[in-house]
Structure 1
């Protein structure tokens, strides 16, 4: 009888979890987009295991920051840019929205570059594949209901396991990789502009500003309330841990192959896959290429969606996948324009896509503190959050992340100036 009651309780909890799961897991996994894969590949190729130590602190920071966004969405029933506009005024919100729009456009271009590059590995021309994929991305959101779109995104999230397999097939030095995960490199490394640049890029791609806006908006659209908050929290934590495990394996795979064989310059994620081919074999190459295509197509759907949420909430327009084109015209037009222009840019010959991709990740890292300051001021307002304000531990982690990112950005510009 007791066993039956125990099983029923766990069955109920499992049903609640699967009803709420989605926003946290999806948002965290889109983090490993084409720009992210290139950044992690470049980190492994240039510095071997010397950036693995960033994975533990960034995972902890990612969990805390994502949980804050999810909690604010569940408690207030409003998106992040909506709350910023209500609490800090239209002018502040307008400049923040413009900044996010510019950054995200660079990210969207990077996603379509990933789509083009991954399919070129299989001999397919970008002039055919990019327009087709752009249409698929557009139609999924335009014609699908929220639940349908979310299911498609969840399925895409699980394809990231290909990078874990690729990492194993690369036959890395496991002991050295594990030691480097808990042991930072010598202090002299932090005086190198290229190393600092990559640290900021890794953190910037792991904890991107757009993620907070998308997660909170999707929590609101899914209808998650205070009652489901604990289950939603588990969704966030699971997603954050999974996405950084994938990131760890990408760095390890490239360290074991590219770095170990003196291949330092990875021009893009496609280049990383090509370099893996002779070093790690056909399977690792195919898995890496398939993972890149999935990640790029997935993120090419989410990033324009996140941008549309941010702009429409911040400026007071109707938004949401659950609404039709007539109900939310600005939302859908913005989504359409971002996809069309992002895909169109990729078709321009000889464009420096790599510089655009890595620069967007560094700018992500530099802009992140400003977004975090808004989030922390909001989540600690008792009249807004009631008993759901931040704990001292959460404030220490979140404010610490903010201060560290500001410090890293200043240090980067200082060392670049000195160099």
Structure 2
């Protein structure tokens, strides 16, 4: 166990990145509206995440480069390269700037379920103090610029988050047979397809593929570390997926009419299962907010650095400038009462629609022997990757048609 903790790598950061307030919100609404019926979508998401994140980690370790850096180097046609890099930068950097306000606001919702609304009124401006505290914590941890410090902070936060959400699910005393049925039997209610896409989009996060490749090359320098990296990915993603499933299970216990967001879930659990449920859920949401408030700016900085040819170093001034802008924007928008719930839901669906593009880039790179040598994808890995790609394209198209009321 000591050896395992010593070898922990970027896995907890990846798990923490996909279990943000957006995930908690989407899983809450999935549980409230559909009970255990969409648990199979989470199992599919966990499997897809393991397959794609293993590829990203392998790419980072073998090539000692980030995914965006390799795309910039390997696409030779200038127009295609320009379009690809523009798509990546706009989707990840601008997207993560929008997410940051949601991450900080979501984390603040958790503590507000316990301590109530804490705001200072400065003239016409209402300043949310909890949002400010989360932003400061994220800023300090990123400014230190030490990977080992980040790693230890995330291991603590992921364990805290896991204990909080798993305990909440246990307190609701769910029916185990119903849970197994929801996991094994795929059911897609007519009005649930966008929720399925959101569950996949909030778990198989496009920016995590860039983040994992960049962090893996920071953590490990030798190809002999690949088995450790694979185990790190497997354990962290399964734990993260279990946490997401526990949120769905806990939310299934609440009456539909009472819930509009995660803070309502924390308060809604109290009369049914006692104050402990409320506290566990609130602490879990707070931890989820902090972790995502750190990983979103970090991923954006790695992506921008790779696409623009900057040094992808945590202490680099250009690298720091990217994450600083995103954290400050997040703090400002969340502190002045920026309403994040609907935007978080929209962003998760957008993530699900963007995923096939990024996954396609990754699969293309993972088959280039000029980049990976003998460590290119096996036939099985390609088959699994293509199956995931086809599923995400199908769900993405169905989601677009659903939005425009064609389906």
User: Given the two structures, how large is their TM-score scaled by the length of structure 1?
Assistant: 0.89
1:352-391 equivalence runs, <5 A: 352-391=339-378
Residue 56 of structure 1: how far off its partner (Å): 2.2
Residue 19 of structure 1: how far off its partner (Å): 4.1
Q: Which runs of 5+ in 1 are unaligned?
A: 1-10
- Tell me the residue number matched to 1:333: 321
**Any conservation in 2 of the 1:104–1:307 contact (CA below 8 Å)?**
yes
Q: Quick one: distance in 2 between partners of 1:210 and 1:267? A: 27
**Any conservation in 2 of the 1:42–1:265 contact (CA below 8 Å)?**
no
Q: Which runs of 5+ in 2 are unaligned?
A: 120-127
Residue 145 of structure 1: how far off its partner (Å): 1.9
Q: Quick one: distance in 1 between partners of 2:375 and 2:47? A: 20
The alignment partner of 1:237 has SS state of helix
1:275 aligns with 2:272: no
- Tell me the residue number matched to 1:132: 133
Q: Flag the 1:105–1:165 CA change in 2: closer, same or farther, 3 A.
A: same
- CA deviation map 1:282-332 (0-9, x unaligned): 1111000000001101110111111111111111112222x3xxxx21211
Q: Quick one: distance in 1 between partners of 2:309 and 2:30? A: 40
- Tell me the residue number matched to 2:180: 178
Residue 267 of structure 1: how far off its partner (Å): 2.6
1:157-306 equivalence runs, <5 A: 157-159=158-160, 160-185=162-187, 189=189, 192=190, 194-255=191-252, 257-258=253-254, 261=255, 263-264=256-257, 266-306=259-299
What count of residue pairs does the alignment treat as equivalent? 391
1:8-87 equivalence runs, <5 A: 15=3, 17-87=4-74
Q: Quick one: distance in 2 between partners of 1:282 and 1:409? A: 40
Residue 272 of structure 1: how far off its partner (Å): 1.6
- CA deviation map 1:231-289 (0-9, x unaligned): 1110000111111111111111111x21xx3x256332212212222222211110000
RMSD: 1.7
Residue 144 of structure 1: how far off its partner (Å): 4.5
- CA deviation map 1:90-146 (0-9, x unaligned): 412233112211221222121111122112112251521211221121011212522
Q: Flag the 1:415–1:364 CA change in 2: closer, same or farther, 3 A.
A: closer
**Any conservation in 1 of the 2:12–2:154 contact (CA below 8 Å)?**
no
Q: Quick one: distance in 2 between partners of 1:26 and 1:226? A: 21
User: Given the two structures, how large is their TM-score scaled by the length of structure 2?
Assistant: 0.92
**Any conservation in 2 of the 1:94–1:315 contact (CA below 8 Å)?**
no
Deviating 4+ runs (over 4 angstroms) = none
1:393 aligns with 2:390: no
1:320 aligns with 2:313: yes
1:108 aligns with 2:90: no
Is the deviation greater in 409-418 or in 163-172?
Answer: 409-418
**Any conservation in 2 of the 1:110–1:357 contact (CA below 8 Å)?**
yes
Q: Quick one: distance in 1 between partners of 2:400 and 2:311? A: 40
**Any conservation in 2 of the 1:320–1:331 contact (CA below 8 Å)?**
yes
Residue 29 of structure 1: how far off its partner (Å): 3.1
Q: Quick one: distance in 2 between partners of 1:113 and 1:129? A: 9
**Any conservation in 1 of the 2:194–2:402 contact (CA below 8 Å)?**
no
- CA deviation map 1:140-185 (0-9, x unaligned): 1212522122111111111122100100001112211111110122
